Structure 1
């Protein structure tokens, strides 16, 4: 009978442990939830530059009356492509969305919007990532629901899927409007 080496058992044991870790992680109620230090606080100030000839925006837009979304995105971001149709749905429903293009080539960003459509009422670029840092951005895409007083009601990290729209974004929009 051949002797089994501990080194022969190690790969399957490691694989099983890793698989169990992933499975447990996916069982959380909200796998996309990340803690936000700025929820319930005023939206941080913006240090943005115009993106092509598109309408730009600044702090005054976020302080204006009415509920709005701020969406950080980039042309190189695959999940941004996934969420884009859902942003267009929200825009068609009348939700004002302000886009912040994150550390992107301006020509690529403009091509992205030309190809997929522009759901934003205004869009600007965060070329050096300063605004993203102030907002506590983990990565793109990331979306914030802002109320009429300029307060952050919700921060959502990750692509907005239909499930996320129904379970988180729309309830936060309703809360922000109350």
Structure 2
């Protein structure tokens, strides 16, 4: 019996350091990824997923055919309860003023609050829809709002950008993706 107890003690002494080393190795691998802030998009270079949305508010309703029409366009998932959506709104309006077509999909929001959001901040969307249960967001791989997709004239996803569009993101990522999509 004493021999059995002696054999169990070394295992109990070795196991915690082994677990620690395994976790440390996983941490190090995660730290040295190419760009840890980039969430992979399985849709880049592929057709934009079909829309399963409902009309939202007044104005033109977003239709699936609009995504496949000629010309570069952005699809922006947003919500009135989303503080980063409020922060990115001036950049969306600046792009609209520059002639960029932006389609808005309101995500899991109360219609009255969503309308109030656009009345207060302005409506940069050429057409919009609502995704009340998040079905389209799920199909598009949306992690949370805001998320913006650059779509080319063939209806293919050129860029997926998760998070709010800041001035630097607009200059460094969104505008280059729009230029790239316009060339294709």
1:101–1:124 CA contact under 8 A, matched in 2: yes
> What is the CA-CA distance between 1:31 and the residue it aligns to?
5.5
Structure 2 residue aligned with 1:57: 62
Q: Which runs of 4+ in 1 moved over 3 A?
A: 27-32
Task: Determine the C-alpha separation between the residues in 2 that align with 1:54 and 1:168.
Answer: 29
Deviations 1:124-149 (A, max 9, x none): 10011100000000000000000000
Which one is further off, 157-166 or 47-56?
A: 47-56
Unaligned runs of 5+ in 1: 1-20
- 1:127 is matched with 132
**What root-mean-square deviation, in Å, do the aligned CA atoms of Structure 1 and Structure 2 show?**
1.8
Larger radius of gyration: 2
1:80 touches 1:140 (CA, 8 Å); kept in 2?
yes
TM-score (normalised: structure 1): 0.83
- TM-score, with normalisation over the residues of structure 2? 0.80
Name 2:107's counterpart in structure 1: 102
Looking at structure 1, the residues matched to 42 and 115 of structure 2 have their Cα atoms a distance apart, in angstroms, of 31
Residue 54 of structure 1: CA displacement?
2.9
Q: What is the aligned counterpart of 2:177 among 154, 172, 178? A: 172
